[in-house]
Each structure stands twice: as C-alpha cells, then as structure tokens.
Amino acid sequence: MSEIRLVTATIDLVYEEVGTDTEKYELEFNEISETDEDSIGQWVKHAKVRGETNDNDAVMLNLMVELYRKIDKIELLLTKGYPKRLVLTSEAFIESIGLEHFKLSTEGFEAGKHYYGRVEIATFPKREIAFFFEAIDSSLAKIEKMHVRDEKEWGYYMTACERAMIRQMKGLE
C-alpha cells in the first residue's frame, strides 16, 4: 500500500455499519445532496449561464444566496421542524484527513467492514457531507462514495487544514 497523506483536522463523525440494508442509507445520501440543489442555487446557475451575473460582485452574490438559504432554513424549522436524518449508532472524532482517507482519534472500526457516515465541515457555508467508507483498520478508513461537489469541498477543507498546519509550523500563528 502506498503512503497515505493525512493532515490534522477536527471533525465530528456519526456513522453506522451498512450491512445488507443499504437502501435507507442511499436514500439519505441522495437527500443530503439534493438539499444543496435548492431553488435559489438553480436560479443563480441559470443566471450565470445567461450571463446576467457578469457585472455583479461574485462574493456579494454568494453572501446574498447564503443569507437567503439561512432564512429559508429558519422558515423550514419554524414550520416543519428539524430535517429528519437517520439516527446513526456510533460517534467518533476525526483527527486527520486525506483526499480519500481519514483517521479517528480512537479505535472504532472493524477492518474490512463498510460504513455510512455524516460530517459537518467548517467551511463557508457549513456543509453536511454524507459518504460511504471502508475500514482499513480500527481507526483508519478509505472513503468509497461521496458526491462530486462534496469531494471538492472535502479537498478544499483538507487544503485549508494543511495551510494552517504549515503556518503554525512556521510560527506565523
């Protein structure tokens, strides 16, 4: 096995062994991805394609979209309550991540078993990411399936953690 490159990160993980009943996990996995494809997101994509956003400040547009999403979330919470998620049986703390791997701070996996998990990464905006993974050993896992947009966010988050680690090593923080 080639060397796995991991960087220090701080992420809470909830997870559960998949077993044979993968349908309920697949449903939630797809549902979490769909919540990112809301009406305002679609509208902005179409506006960009039509060239209607060229004169606008992209940062301001993103901030306005996120404010809209937050208001939409608050409205949804007030009318329907919290979104229903599967209750996953295990919790752990991820101490380091790589592009395709992550390592727990304690032992919690059985080597060779397949799991489904969710994390919330501290990016802007905060992202809830669902993924399937296989345990390599009791604390190291390989991500098997993640949505493409989430893969990009995971990579950005890993890069940000790596930059922070380098600045800290150089004594800049």
Q: In the chain, what is the greatest distance between 2 CA atoms, to the nearest angstrom?
A: 53
Q: How confident is the model at residue 25 (pLDDT cuts 50, 70, 90)?
A: very high
pLDDT for 170: 83
Reported as a single tens digit per residue, the pLDDT across 85-142 is 888 999 999 999 999 999 999 998 999 999 999 999 877 777 889 999 999 999 999 9
**Token representation of residue 11:** 């992420």
7-34+86-170 fold: Thrombin, subunit H (2.40.10)
23 in helix, strand or coil?
helix
pLDDT for 116: 96
Transcribe 107-136 into DSSP letters: ----TT-EEEEEEEE-SSS-EEEEEEEEES
* Among candidate residues 93, 123, 101, the one with its CA nearest the CA of residue 7: 101
* Percent of the chain scoring above 90 in pLDDT: 38
pTM of the entire structure? 0.77
Reported as a single tens digit per residue, the pLDDT across 31-41 is 887 655 567 77
